[in-house]
């Protein structure tokens, strides 16, 4: 009887276990859910644990390195556009730099021009040489000052170093200058020491050498003497340096003199324009007699 009772208990136990496993099989999704959620909650709870922190930081490092790679590929893909953009910026900056540099140089040159202690520039117009033609067909300078700034024909163009030329025609914003190194240009000059006067002209050839004629051989002249413009000139103020004597050749009556011009025309960039010399009576007299100098709009000086 007791053995039979034990057997029943045993069978009942098996049934309970079977039911339990049947329940587990039927509802294993909930068990899985509980298991997974439990693990997850434990991980949340012990998030700051050393091992988890290490895993997490390793993962973050991995993510960062992959992101870096992705970014580098994106960078490579965008490189062409970036290059084009930079080229545009470079061109713009280069243009600005060149413009600034040109403005600075111009300002410096103007400053040098007007700050010459030996020369008083008041009343003079400062101008820049914007073009220069030196050829067999044309030899002239173009200045960026015209009628609007008070420039008139026959005004003298000079620098503190010496005479440059004469204004021959004027537009509103520009003035054309017949330079000293033009075969049509003539101006009366005198020696600084002996006051011996002559007529300066340029016959072509070297840009820095001009000739002075009609200086009587009786006049004491030496090499290295400075030649200045005279007050006889119809356009030029007197006393403007022109050049220094480098060679003297006596002829029958007059010297044939070569002078080294004071102004270097090859580097000329800033000039002064002297106020026009107003002496109509003298001009009239000269025109009626033997004109030595004539206004440019009629005929060059001779």
User: Which residues of the shown chain bind another protein in the complex (CB under 8 A)?
Assistant: 28-29, 32-33, 36-37, 39-45, 47, 52, 55-56, 58-60, 62-63, 66-67, 70
Distance of closest approach, residue 83 Cβ to another protein, in angstroms = 25
Neighbour tally for 114: CB within 10 Å? 16
59 or 239: whose CB is closer to another protein?
A: 59
Residues facing 197 on adjacent strands: 190
Identify which of residues 58 and 239 has a Cβ nearer to another protein in the complex: 58
Q: Helices H, strands E: what count in the chain?
A: 4, 12
- Decide whether 45 or 80 has the Cβ nearer to another protein: 45
Which CB atom, from 17 or from 39, has the smaller least distance to another protein? 39
Least separation in angstroms between CB 37 and another protein: 6
On whether the CB atoms of residues 153 and 296 are closer than 8 A, the answer is yes
If the CB atoms of residues 39 and 93 are measured against another protein, the closer one turns out to be 39
A 10 A CB-CB count for 16 gives 10
Q: Is 142 exposed, middle or buried (0-12, 13-18, 19+ CB in 10 A)?
A: middle
Q: How far is the CB of 95 from another protein (least distance, A)?
A: 39
Rounded Cα distance, 143 and 152, in Å: 12
Of residues 16 and 37, the one with the C-beta less far from another protein: 37
Q: Which residues pair with 280 in a beta bridge?
A: none
Using the minimum distance from each CB to another protein, give the nearer residue, 58 or 216.
Answer: 58
- Closest separation between CB of residue 87 and another protein, Å? 30
Would you say 170 and 176 are in contact if contact means Cβ atoms under 8 Å apart? yes
Least distance (Å) from another protein to the CB of residue 80? 22
Q: How many CA atoms lie within 13 A of 281 on its CB side?
A: 0
Q: What are the phi and psi torsion angles at 255 (to 5°)?
A: -80, 150
- Tell me how far, at minimum, the Cβ of 85 lies from another protein, in Å: 23
Q: Give how far Cα 240 sits from Cα of 227, 228, 254, 259, 261, Å.
A: 8, 5, 23, 14, 12
In sequence order, which residues have a C-beta less than 8 Å from that of residue 195 and are 6 or more positions away? none
Q: How far is the CB of 53 from another protein (least distance, A)?
A: 10
Q: Other C-beta atoms within 10 Å of 137: how many?
A: 5
């Amino acid at each position: 009887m007791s053995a039979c009772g034990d057997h029943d208990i045993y069978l009942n136990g098996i049934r309970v276990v079977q039911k339990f496993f049947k329940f587990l099989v039927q509802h294993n999704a909930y068990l899985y859910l509980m298991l997974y959620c439990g693990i997850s909650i434990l991980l949340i709870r012990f998030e700051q644990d050393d091992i988890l922190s290490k895993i997490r930081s390793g993962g973050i490092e991995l993510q960062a390195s992959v992101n870096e790679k992705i970014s580098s590929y994106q960078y490579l893909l965008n490189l062409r556009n970036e290059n084009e953009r930079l080229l545009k910026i470079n061109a713009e900056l280069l243009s600005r730099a060149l413009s600034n540099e040109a403005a600075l140089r111009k300002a410096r040159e103007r400053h040098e021009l007007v700050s010459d202690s030996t020369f008083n520039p008041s009343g003079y117009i400062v101008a820049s040489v914007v073009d220069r033609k030196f050829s067999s067909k044309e030899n002239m300078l173009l200045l960026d000052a015209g009628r609007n700034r008070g420039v008139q024909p026959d005004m003298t163009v000079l620098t503190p170093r010496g005479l440059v030329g004469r204004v021959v025609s004027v537009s509103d914003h520009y003035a054309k200058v017949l330079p000293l190194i033009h075969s049509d240009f003539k101006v009366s000059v005198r020696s600084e020491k002996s006051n011996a006067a002559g007529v300066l002209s340029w016959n072509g050839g070297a840009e820095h050498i001009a000739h002075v004629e009609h200086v009587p051989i009786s006049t004491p002249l030496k090499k290295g003497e400075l030649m200045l413009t005279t007050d006889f000139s119809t356009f030029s103020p007197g006393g403007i340096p022109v050049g220094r004597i480098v060679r003297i050749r006596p002829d029958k009556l007059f010297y044939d003199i070569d002078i080294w011009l004071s102004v270097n025309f090859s580097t000329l960039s800033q000039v002064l324009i002297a106020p026009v010399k107003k002496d109509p009576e003298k001009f009239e007299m000269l025109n009626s007699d033997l004109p030595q100098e004539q206004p440019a709009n009629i005929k060059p000086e001779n």
